Amino acid sequence: MATSPHSLLLQNPTHHLPNNSTLKPFNAFPLTSTRFTPSTTDKRLSITCATTTQIQDRPPAQAHSEDRVFNFAAGPAILPENVLKKAQSELYNYRGSGMSVMEMSHRGKEFLSIIQKAESDLRALLEIPDEYAVLFLQGGATTQFAAIPLNLCTPDDPVDFLVTGSWGDKAFKEAQKYSQPKLIWSGKPEKYTKIPSFEDLEQTPDAKYLHICANETIHGVEFKNYPTPKNATGLLVADMSSNFCSKPVDVSKFGVIYAGAQKNVGPSGVTVVIIRKDLIGNAQKTTPVMLDYKIHAENNSLYNTPPCFGIYMCGLVFEDLLEQGGLKEVEKKNKKKAEILYNAIDESNGFFRCPVEKSVRSLMNVPFTLEKSELEAEFVKEAAKEKMVQLKGHRSVGGMRASIYNAMPLAGVETLVAFMKDFQARHA
């Protein structure tokens, strides 16, 4: 495959130099000789962008280079390689602007085009109705645990929480400071392994909203459909951080959808909020300015300096998802990957175990344990030697967890499954 001038300069800085030529030590940053091992000499390079055109030979989506690991981290998480390479090609001189995205003013025409296209592509992906605002914020989904009650209700208003994991529980506890939340169901007694029947939920008749976490990253529990608030004017609010843009969603069923970007759509530092416009403008008087949705909506997410490079990266991911055929096609790929991994677990005769009820198993985060728990550390260690990293389970749960987000190629899951079968053969 042809190599772009950008990557030639980055990968082999002496490629175009005459014999015995040296590079001048200015405009510098250190490079390493390989992906993993720092170079023994700290060479500092001046890099000139050979062209401002986009890479024409981008690898296809889901490609995987031999010099990269399969990263099963829960977040920050794997990003599409073609997205990373496009960002690499545009890093030094963004499309002829003479500067990096990291350097440009957030109020300049270059960045305005970036954030506007990111919003447009996200609207296309999720088919977001015009009556919804899209905000690119900071502070992670955790900040929204406070922002949502502050914007949607008064301190005396009742709100309902259906808690299916650790993140839903954190949101419930934070809401206690700014509203009157009621825990209408918790999966904690069953160690967060199931989701209840919606018909059995005892919702508060006048609850301002019903809050759920659509996919619990730690426990691997995912809503396959969504409850309806019993209050006719009540809202459904969802934390979708770890399954955002992994499948189609009917946005019109929700008052608010929020998500940290670092699982499925970008690097850490960006939080996406999708909110029905008529819900904006009713914040409690004590709401900090940076948590007031009205401020951010009126300023098109540019009230203060936003996470510019993170938003740019999200935009590249949205573009990539559209090029894959949209979220219906993305969901098909995710279902295939998850099926292969869950089948390997279920067909291991108990050597591997997934505690989550089958009907609500996450397509994104797959927790599993070993029948012989004393082998789990060895499993993680051996997997890392085979370039499969971040498989250790969350500290609150233990065991292992494979996060297989959109950007995880099928080859990554197949490699993991092959390793699991080999490990079982050697330790059963």
> What are the residue numbers of the active site?
167, 239, 263
Whole-number Å distance between alpha carbons of 403 and 252: 28
The token duo for 304 is: 């203060």
Residue 179 · residue 157 · CB < 8 Å: yes
Question: Residue 402, Cβ neighbours under 10 Å: how many?
Answer: 29
Helices (H), 65-108: 81-90
Whole-number Å distance between alpha carbons of 71 and 296: 34
Residue 24 · residue 46 · CB < 8 Å: yes
Whole-number Å distance between alpha carbons of 167 and 349: 32
Whole-number Å distance between alpha carbons of 311 and 116: 10
- Of 261, 64, 239, 231, nearest to 164 (Cα)? 239
The token duo for 86 is: 């496009």
- Of 321, 280, 324, nearest to 299 (Cα)? 280
